[in-house]
Amino acid sequence: MTPNILATPTRQTVTLEMGPVTELPRQATDMIRLGDAIAVTNTTESVAAGHYLKRLARMRRWAADIYATARAPLAAASKTLAEQEQALVQPLRVAEKRVMGQILAYEAASKANAESRARVALDAHLSAPAGTPMPLVESAPTALAQGVHKRETHTAAVTDISALILSIAGQLLLQQPGGSDREHWITETCAPSPQATPDLLEPNQAALNALGRSLREDLSLPGVEHVVTTILVAK
């Protein structure tokens, strides 16, 4: 049975008819050119620039709303297609992973059995009289179908974040001048490694920003500074 999908993906271009807002690009260009001529050198010009800023913000929100409205049907269709795709593809992935696990488990067991037979044969050969030929032991047979091959992916997983931090800190400390007693303590306590570089740690920017908002000028963390960014909000 053919799945009841929303649409069949094809190579085609979707064109949106903008209707009554065809003048939008020209209006935006005119507004931007007006802003290019603004210079603020006194209070009167600052107030006038503020009024222009409000007009600019209103135009930006208007343009954004136009495109948000135009994108809404496309976003809804895309969401529906994604949900239907997941409903169809995810069970296939689960089945694929299960069968893959069965094959790999069988291969691992076959390899372990072959290694065990080889050890038994070697022990028997060592115990046999001199000159006894070494018995042949068959290797584990290949159990993969044609067109199926194994691919290994190597990654790294953090199992102890504190140990990783200490190692990085220790490596940084070893690069600073100091005596042998200090280096011995660092080596014993931090387990530094040339592989332990600061780029292995990524700052949690969301947590740092939350600290900045709550503590403001009272923020006091080594290697972290309080940053104030000022903008104008026009309504």
Task: Output the pLDDT for position 16.
Answer: 54
User: Does pLDDT of 154 surpass 50?
Assistant: yes
Residue range 27-41: mean pLDDT, rounded: 90
Task: Output the pLDDT for position 208.
Answer: 93
Residue range 60-87: mean pLDDT, rounded: 89
**Average pLDDT for the chain:** 84
CB distance 52 to 34 below 8 Å: yes
User: Does pLDDT of 6 surpass 50?
Assistant: no
Task: Output the pLDDT for position 1.
Answer: 44
> Residue 21 — very low, low, confident or very high, per pLDDT cuts 50/70/90?
low
CB distance 115 to 122 below 8 Å: no
pTM equals 0.59
Q: What is the pLDDT of residues 88-124, one digit of tens each?
A: 999 999 999 999 889 888 888 888 888 888 888 888 7
Query: CA distances (Å), 183 to each of 29, 176, 194, 195, in order?
Result: 64, 10, 14, 17
Task: Output the pLDDT for position 139.
Answer: 72
CB distance 18 to 24 below 8 Å: yes
Task: Output the pLDDT for position 20.
Answer: 55
Label residues 42-55 b or e (16+ Cβ within 10 Å = b). eeeeeeeeeebbee
Residue range 149-154: mean pLDDT, rounded: 83
3-state secondary structure of 233: coil
Can you list the pairs that 47-50 forms with residues at least 24 positions away whose Cβ atoms lie under 8 Å? 50/232, 50/234
